[in-house]
Structure 1
């Protein structure tokens, strides 16, 4: 049975208490418009004190807190009881709890590929808030693993905002992820976040920051080849906008060799978990995107090939739609 979202739980508890939205809003007190957005899962409640106040008024201690973190993102094989325990007692987090939260993040990434960023954003916020609290409370030997995992959740949350074109919020989450990655000493995650910052700059049409931020990501050595390959192509995108054909071709050639190494690393299981979607089709898509401004005909071929190679569970992802728009633009350029 699918777990309730925060909004569904709040609406149910209010109904069981025999209260209208207006009555509950006056008792808390809050604006009724806020209550309506929360019940519709259109806005997350980030104030824990306010959540506890709602629970007190509704006579349901802990119910909304549990719904806020273990939400509909829980899939098969997720140890929900351990996550529930972490919500109630964040200082007791252990390795098995972190294993459950890492598995949950992996399932969330795949869910987002299927249903889109908008459907995942608000349910995910409870988990991100939980990891934020764990990062604040953790100490001792387990802290490094806690903040590393918190950084991974924050990075994914930043991606969701990026997909929804809410770039300021995306950058805030990427910055938080970067802080945790640096503390944890996770160079792969840090490079990934710098790269995403460069991607946001590219989406905003800022050529200088696109190249500069991506070049910062490329300074990291000894990381997964898939990240280095991607960043070569992303930097090529920036140079393509400047019309620097020779630099674009140099970077694309560099990325091709790195992507072959990345494929081998994916096969032997040494790639970080957030690289799961960077298979052969992905490299054709990124190559097509990189060269589209300077080689539109070749870009059409690569983008068509990449889209044809996507697995069924990624066909309707937000990022797949973005490559379809790239293909349409390249086709118009060749007409």
Structure 2
């Protein structure tokens, strides 16, 4: 058991949460990897279950030096994780500025037309920028987000330089295009684990979408913030944001509303609320079917949305409620239908399939799937696919399966 617990601290999400002293994330991720209840974690660190729950939901904070020390000792946090740079120097807020991924003052000045550009804009130019953005979205599916960040920031600057020269309906279209670029930048920041930058970009995109009267983008940004909450283990926040997307934009397309419904379903599943999750999944599936019949009604960023994608999302909800065979079936079916150029997404769903197989006790099959997707997880799947493979290793280790040690070793070799 001791070796298993020590191996958990190799999980990137757990290590980064300790480095940032994000104790809510430490508690959530530790419990998930160790497979223990809030009551049991409380026993380890000397806290009552309601206190553990309050910290996990970010309603309470660990401010006492004495409580912090009990957490460190009770969970066996390795000393080297505690000796990293302080959260002020290396946390997500600092990275927002040092990595240059969030909106900056110069860009915001462009938004308010402080930059007096002489460039005149016409429909052909905006059509070209629309096509360019669509191509970049599809490229990101194959090569991942990292190579495209600087390109997209510069492209958004170009859009904003056009704002001062736009007149009449073209002005509204420029704002709508800016909202789409900001949403894509938010997604890429989220994909790289830069949560603060992602939230800043989603907020900016949402504001521009409202200014342009774009219900589809306004709804999408709330759904994607719900996705961020889900990724962080905040099921309740996920549900609330997804429901806000549903009621705030009733005029959005069926596909966009379907995305919000399935996001709420995944939040309920994360909370262990199986019936609510299944009800919303059925609602979302009906919207998906209608969207497939009228693809011309869907916004361009929903190009990936369809039955295959929805099947994969259902599989992820199955994982949360521990319906392992259903998860394996849905993820396998979805992966079979997913085109090869979705390299990053294939890597993510394969890592989820490895997790499902591990949960079902199929250790050998889980290891095979995990090892097959490990090279792509290292290349284009960090941090999400990479973290999921670490989670799979933790599940196998918890079961005492030798495959857990093999996968842990392989993850270390890929570094």
**Does the alignment reach a TM-score above 0.5?**
yes
Q: Distance in 2 between matches of 1:48 and 1:231?
A: 32
- 2:270 matched to 1:250? no
- 2:155 matched to 1:142? no
1:271/1:326 CA distance change after superposition, 3 Å: same
5+ residue gaps, structure 2: 1-98, 107-114, 362-415
- 2:244 matched to 1:216? yes
- Matching residue of 1:235: 264
Aligned match for 1:301, one of 326, 329, 352 = 329
Stretches (4+) displaced over 3 A = 46-49, 87-91, 132-141
Deviation at 1:330, TM superposition (A): 1.6
CA contact (8 A) 1:230 1:286 kept: no
What secondary structure is seen at the aligned counterpart in 1 of 2:252?
coil
- 2:307 matched to 1:280? yes
Aligned counterparts, 1:41-52, within 5 A: none
What secondary structure is seen at the aligned counterpart in 2 of 1:312?
coil
Deviation at 1:199, TM superposition (A): 0.6
1:111/1:275 CA distance change after superposition, 3 Å: same
CA contact (8 A) 2:236 2:268 kept: no
Deviation at 1:263, TM superposition (A): 1.1
- Matching residue of 1:17: none
CA contact (8 A) 1:239 1:245 kept: yes
Q: Distance in 1 between matches of 2:332 and 2:240?
A: 30
Q: Distance in 2 between matches of 1:48 and 1:218?
A: 32
Q: Distance in 1 between matches of 2:225 and 2:104?
A: 27
1:136/1:195 CA distance change after superposition, 3 Å: farther
Deviation at 1:117, TM superposition (A): 0.6
Deviation at 1:312, TM superposition (A): 2.3
Q: Distance in 2 between matches of 1:133 and 1:334?
A: 54
Deviation at 1:262, TM superposition (A): 1.4
Aligned match for 1:187, one of 210, 215, 225 = 215
- Matching residue of 2:143: 115
RMSD: 2.4
5+ residue gaps, structure 1: 1-41, 50-86
- Matching residue of 2:360: 334
Number of residue pairs aligned between Structure 1 and Structure 2: 253
Q: Distance in 2 between matches of 1:207 and 1:290?
A: 12
TM-score, normalised to structure 1's length?
0.70
CA contact (8 A) 1:211 1:235 kept: yes
- Matching residue of 1:226: 255
- 2:348 matched to 1:322? yes
TM-score, normalised to structure 2's length?
0.57
